[in-house]
Structure 1
């Protein structure tokens, strides 16, 4: 028998002995929570022991149990759609205590106990907090008919916005998500109250959140989520970097029993087939409140395609410029002649002009597994853990390469051109483990969370045009490299409520410390994915659509962050609630930052309260923004159509960036102001209205292309690139602190449950109105003159519109949820506000897209006691955004005019630069949910 085995057995015996001793002093309180009108058990009810960190949820039959030491306690029992109840109990050493509770229905927003934004043990609803919080239960997420967390949130949280992107490289596979119209990296994501790691991918294409690094919410199975809390307020002083716009906290399921949710569906257009199944199984461990919750989920999302009819050049390039001294008539005749030749070859080769691109959702297969557990070690201490893995495989297309593009196409390999694909493999892992408890009134928590994300790029159905000598034997598939980001966060906190000793209802003081390590890595692709084998040929090197990362791009960077905070919340009177917090963080790569917050809520009466907050915040530059570099093919709007350019992204600390005069990155800093009212004028009516202003300075942006030229700034760019040996690169880009913005807006949430003779009805009106504008001047590179040549601007008018106009200025949602016996119905109207796009150079190509209303409807029937079937449709009236208006038509009278075209010669029917709700049209589905 080995020494290790004997040691393990000894440790196990000691632990079991300690568990037996500590648990012997605890007694069990148990009971059942039922619906007051039907006496049916309610699963998933939250039961919190006030002034402690203890709590539990009911199982599938509505039963619960937890372990408490002798004494007097108050249980707070709450569930969405029901009135919260406080139940006093007394525990003695004589045995089990039974506390049954019957809940009565009420509007959902009135009874949801909020956890995020406060470290106090005082249970508060969303109308009692100092800052606005949306609480979205799992059944509300399922009722959207969506299966991905980002899309579920998009239709239930008015300030949240996320739309799928297309023809955007890796961003086709990870949806950028924002709050209050700000950036994806200006919202902090927590999982069970702990910081969630960022994604490895940095968004560098022309999408919402360009230049930012978000958090991949879709890596978390929706079947594992019990509820989502969205804090709509600056919270850097409470939670650290990134929390400028707010915080999203995902709470995982804890209840015993098994739930299964499955859905199949497809778009009205016949594509985008979806199949999803998620299974959650909760196990009750012992009689002391322990649990183990396991979730597995798989979802397949088929590709969609909303491509238009291509009317540009295929075999012969007729989109040519005017020759020197050429007359109008000669120029038109020459272009017409080339066009006729091209049309003849198109007919001869039977080339399909109507389906040579894929513009829509990428195909994605997603599989994930999560666990969530809590094991009481005594009546006042517990071990907890949360862990998960997620695997995703995606396939998206780029721009079609046509035969006339001889610098990009090996015609012996692809005589009719080709549509290259980017195939992604995304792996995500995380593990949180910690201990928490209470001792002499001090609540303590020690935890560590390690997580990361890796994004592998493979290119298929492509070529490296510089391998033209190999003809039909040239390589068609390439490994293009891998991005990875990992993070380890250790924290410790202690809190105590001194209210009773100060003669106050509450005076909670929380202090904590955090130590974080960030790791960022770029692994280069295979040689053929990036190399130009014959630079003198004029042909492009590397894999078309996505040239691989080069050895010069490889990086293995890390940094450490040390933080400390204090958070005080007190009920100074029965009417006045006050909160203040301060936090200091020090980064090894750029220095320190301090953030503070003051917030208060005054309750004039049960029917009316006023709340306000002021805070400063910050967002540290990500390692991605500091160290990312790549050479890629970027299609740039030149006012004469889209032009492919070999563009280099150079590190902020590189000699090239320094030659441009770009300073080192520093933190974005914000000032947040918020004022709001909450009201309950009637027992079944809740109103919250919150206005806000967020001023951010030194926002980090991803610059435009600084292009080569022969004069002015263009000549300086050429000399810098040539001097660095980048002779194949047409233009340069980098990250810089460049702009200041101000965002103002208002959030409104009104919820009511009117009394009906039969059945129940919940009505919710939720709205967000916001406007972002640039303030101050743009910080231009110090070593470049203000040159009017196209592209030589750090932040052009297209970028300005993307930051201020490309997300809906308003989103208004009206939802009705009706239930009668076994039947249910959900009807939702969502109005997405106007969005606008600007062209980089030509105002004639600017376009605005009108507001649209999307209608979702579903009906459900409880087939058996534990099985419910739902049939529904999202976007039931098949609404699409406005079509692009600037579409070039190659008619004889247009051959002499400048090309005004946003559609890439008819291929894009809808804008890909600003999308209100996507352009896939209606979707119908069948959903089956069961609980045991």
Structure 2
């Protein structure tokens, strides 16, 4: 017995010894990865040994090395923009296995494995998912000739829209971005799959996304981005609040080697100079780890497309009729005032040109990012980290203050008036750390991300008119107006495992997770001179002109906690049928909980045709900004004949003033999403996806219009409420409220092909979005105001309705040709932007409609050296502009007796600032140099 058991022990020890010896004698799989067409080496390619879940990333020379035991394996070689290859490998004892791979460029983006939209452990391409996903490569972003991410996406993703705003305070410096025609706050932004914090600024001017809080995409250097995944489907059940329209996931570079991208350019008109340089370098760390560092600097010069001013300068001749004044006397009086004004204009050599800056604000931007991943020795886990710092400084102008505006201008300081400036300082920072790995088939992830955004307002070239008694002695012309900030900390833990073998299905993935988030919103007041009225009885306006500072009464430091849990199931029931179900519960300690769910499926009728669809409900929690923002500001309001400045107060939703109006507490916006689509490969080198959708949203949060003082009816109620609260200098009140319901219907189409040519290679992509939003049902009104047409419509007027429904292009179609011949390359992109409209809040005669326009981009590239590429290009090659504003019955001396209808603000606006299809800066040419080492 003893000998028998001793032999068994010896046998076991022998196996242990042989196993250890095999480990010691482990061999390498090594090789180089190159482009099948050009032969160029490809750094950053992922090489995975599927049986052991180990792998490597190719270095700057395209080389890789993976350490394994002798045996049979399968390599999975994948890289953005190339078709993934699966290669069997036999590793002998005593010598390495060399496997060189030539990767073939994939068909557009439809063959690329996606991360967003599914938590399955199964790798799926964008045509294999249950929901539509656009995969946009970094080289496609660079090929647009744009230098910031919002504009890059605007010209490669039809469902995405972003246009720069002008004369809109802080929104001049942060571009509102939308998906499928919804609001900036109804799309969720992820960075490396983790929730990205919102911006500090809330858009309260007359722009797209008025009243919303988006995410500052331009705080992320485009040089750091490897690719962008755009999930075009409701995903609140998977990712939480804000994902009503979809999700944008930015994946950062994670590869060794150095890439440099530099660009200079300017508008055809000679302004708007751009200089940009971005450097990314990836360091190889121990255990096949990687550290990727990016630095990017951007300068964007201001542009100006304003018209010549025709209004009053020194003497106000745009006056009303006096009591019992005859037509002839009225016209004569106005003409007399007009002649006086013209004489003073000539006498003072006052220029009527460039009285306004209508175009891009000047912006200087510096960003630094890191992205790291390090396998933990002795485990199947990795540590990862992503961090970023971004600094932006901008300057944009407001409306010119003319000498005749004596309540706003100190004549001793500015005898000819002044053009005030808003100077922004935007700081953005974030840090993500996490650990993920696999154990017993479970793929797990634990992470925490902290990030924040601050927006500081300074006002220059201005005055506080109530300090007129100081004359020129120590009278300030620059003011610190306050700072907004928003910070967010998000912790989450998740796990996923495929139970396909246990359940008898091809796959049965179960993913679960919990999250905790803490939000913090702050308003810091400006200096006293930026908001105080030092001469209340003088009739002079207090505060800094263009942007009165935040007052101590506006200061806030609000926090909230959010708790969430979710489950996500996905299963290949058969080789043809894929099902997905997800549910998520989130609890907000400031307004309550919400449950969201989703069902989705894809059925593959054949290799060339699949049908997919989904139904889900979603939600968007009111932001802390919408709950707690308050300010006193000068708002220019259309009266149907002119833009009139008014001191307007925005009051917190929980304030006594809002309660006196009968405004209920803010609740969540809720949505129901439906989508159905097809994916097809009618030919080997042709791919097609078509997805139709309907998004119903109830209780959308809006930023109300002005409830103004009056002497009767609702106006008297408003006056009594404001006076009772001590707001005697405020002309009108505004607040945030759940007020409207909308329905959005649309169609997304993506057709891609790479026809075989005798000479060179060609990729052709046709992508389109058709979209319509309408307001449905009744508009909710404040409970304590009369439901009359005059004041009731100010909560959500016809201009606001147009901003939600027709201010963004109803269609957007983009056709792209990308041709390459050895060292030469040509990219031609033709974009058609559909009709947009704007409505006047009071006068239908001032409504505008702007016809569709086609914008053509062209770039020519040449590979100077193996890793050095030069590109010369032109965006908006044909110098296309949107339709100009329509001007009728302009108030000239000959028409002083007629009613004026004018959208141009006395000639200063040639193009609409309320809505724009693609901007109005005209053509832009550029020179780009890119290198990789």
TM-score range (shorter-chain normalised) is: over 0.9
Which stretch shows the higher mean deviation, 788-797 or 708-717?
A: 788-797
Uncovered stretches (5+) of structure 2, i.e. residues with no partner: 1-19
Q: Counterparts of 1:742 and 1:799 in 2: how far apart (Å)? A: 15
> Which residue matches 1:129?
129
Distance 1:913 1:154, change over 3 A: same
> Which residue matches 2:16?
none
> Which residue matches 2:160?
160
| CA displacement, residues 772-792 of structure 1 (integer Å, 9 cap, x when unaligned) | 000110000000112333686
Name the SS of the counterpart of 1:537 in structure 2.
Answer: coil
Matched, 1:517 2:518: yes
| CA displacement, residues 399-427 of structure 1 (integer Å, 9 cap, x when unaligned) | 00000001100011100000000000000
Matched, 1:554 2:574: no
1:74: how far off? 4.1
**How large is the RMSD of aligned CA atoms in angstroms?**
1.9
Distance 1:901 1:38, change over 3 A: closer
Q: Which residues in structure 2 correspond to 1:271-290 (within 5 Å)?
A: 271-286=271-286, 288-290=287-289
Distance 1:623 1:347, change over 3 A: same
Q: Counterparts of 2:355 and 2:800 in 1: how far apart (Å)? A: 29
1:683: how far off? 1.2
| CA displacement, residues 282-313 of structure 1 (integer Å, 9 cap, x when unaligned) | 01112x32100000000000000001000001
Q: Which residues in structure 2 correspond to 1:198-213 (within 5 Å)?
A: 198-213=198-213
> Which residue matches 2:333?
334
- Is the contact made by 1:887 and 1:905 (CA closer than 8 Å) also made in structure 2? no
> Which residue matches 1:370?
369
Q: Which residues in structure 2 correspond to 1:87-236 (within 5 Å)?
A: 87-89=87-89, 97-236=97-236
1:636: how far off? 0.4
> Which residue matches 1:301?
300
> Which residue matches 1:893?
894
Matched, 1:269 2:269: yes
Q: Which residues in structure 2 correspond to 1:817-836 (within 5 Å)?
A: 817-836=818-837
Matched, 1:490 2:491: yes
- Is the contact made by 1:311 and 1:889 (CA closer than 8 Å) also made in structure 2? no
- Is the contact made by 1:713 and 1:792 (CA closer than 8 Å) also made in structure 2? no
Q: Counterparts of 2:597 and 2:51 in 1: how far apart (Å)? A: 26
Q: Counterparts of 2:345 and 2:822 in 1: how far apart (Å)? A: 62
> Which residue matches 2:36?
36
Distance 1:38 1:456, change over 3 A: closer
TM-score by length of 1: 0.95
Q: Counterparts of 1:793 and 1:504 in 2: how far apart (Å)? A: 58
1:60: how far off? 3.0
1:166: how far off? 0.3
Name the SS of the counterpart of 1:157 in structure 2.
Answer: coil
Q: Counterparts of 2:56 and 2:159 in 1: how far apart (Å)? A: 30
> Which residue matches 1:237?
237
Distance 1:55 1:732, change over 3 A: farther
> Which residue matches 1:350?
349
Matched, 1:322 2:290: no
> Which residue matches 1:246?
246
Distance 1:735 1:341, change over 3 A: same
Matched, 1:584 2:585: yes
Name the SS of the counterpart of 2:659 in structure 1.
Answer: helix
Name the SS of the counterpart of 2:815 in structure 1.
Answer: strand
Which stretch shows the higher mean deviation, 44-53 or 34-43?
A: 44-53
Distance 1:57 1:249, change over 3 A: farther
Distance 1:214 1:72, change over 3 A: farther
Q: Counterparts of 1:283 and 1:889 in 2: how far apart (Å)? A: 64
1:98: how far off? 4.0
- Is the contact made by 2:851 and 2:883 (CA closer than 8 Å) also made in structure 1? yes
Q: Counterparts of 1:765 and 1:778 in 2: how far apart (Å)? A: 39
Distance 1:924 1:726, change over 3 A: same
Matched, 1:657 2:685: no
> Which residue matches 1:633?
634
- Is the contact made by 2:675 and 2:693 (CA closer than 8 Å) also made in structure 1? yes
Distance 1:124 1:55, change over 3 A: farther
Name the SS of the counterpart of 1:423 in structure 2.
Answer: strand
| CA displacement, residues 801-827 of structure 1 (integer Å, 9 cap, x when unaligned) | 001000000000000000001000100
Name the SS of the counterpart of 1:406 in structure 2.
Answer: coil
- Is the contact made by 1:638 and 1:790 (CA closer than 8 Å) also made in structure 2? no
Q: Counterparts of 1:897 and 1:55 in 2: how far apart (Å)? A: 78
Equivalenced residues, count: 911
Name the SS of the counterpart of 1:717 in structure 2.
Answer: helix
- Is the contact made by 2:81 and 2:137 (CA closer than 8 Å) also made in structure 1? no
- Is the contact made by 1:53 and 1:443 (CA closer than 8 Å) also made in structure 2? no
1:859: how far off? 0.2
1:87: how far off? 2.5
- Is the contact made by 1:613 and 1:674 (CA closer than 8 Å) also made in structure 2? yes
> Which residue matches 1:544?
545
- Is the contact made by 2:681 and 2:687 (CA closer than 8 Å) also made in structure 1? yes
> Which residue matches 1:313?
312
Q: Counterparts of 1:92 and 1:783 in 2: how far apart (Å)? A: 84
Q: Counterparts of 2:52 and 2:300 in 1: how far apart (Å)? A: 43
TM-score by length of 2: 0.95
1:538: how far off? 1.2
- Is the contact made by 1:80 and 1:108 (CA closer than 8 Å) also made in structure 2? no
- Is the contact made by 1:300 and 1:365 (CA closer than 8 Å) also made in structure 2? yes
1:34: how far off? 1.9
Q: Counterparts of 2:208 and 2:649 in 1: how far apart (Å)? A: 21
Q: Counterparts of 1:543 and 1:210 in 2: how far apart (Å)? A: 23
Name the SS of the counterpart of 1:332 in structure 2.
Answer: helix
Distance 1:37 1:155, change over 3 A: closer
| CA displacement, residues 42-92 of structure 1 (integer Å, 9 cap, x when unaligned) | 234344555987665433332234566888764433345533222245679
1:604: how far off? 0.6
Name the SS of the counterpart of 1:399 in structure 2.
Answer: coil
Name the SS of the counterpart of 1:799 in structure 2.
Answer: helix
| CA displacement, residues 715-759 of structure 1 (integer Å, 9 cap, x when unaligned) | 100000000000000000000000000000000000000110011
Matched, 1:501 2:502: yes
- Is the contact made by 2:236 and 2:618 (CA closer than 8 Å) also made in structure 1? yes
- Is the contact made by 1:823 and 1:859 (CA closer than 8 Å) also made in structure 2? yes
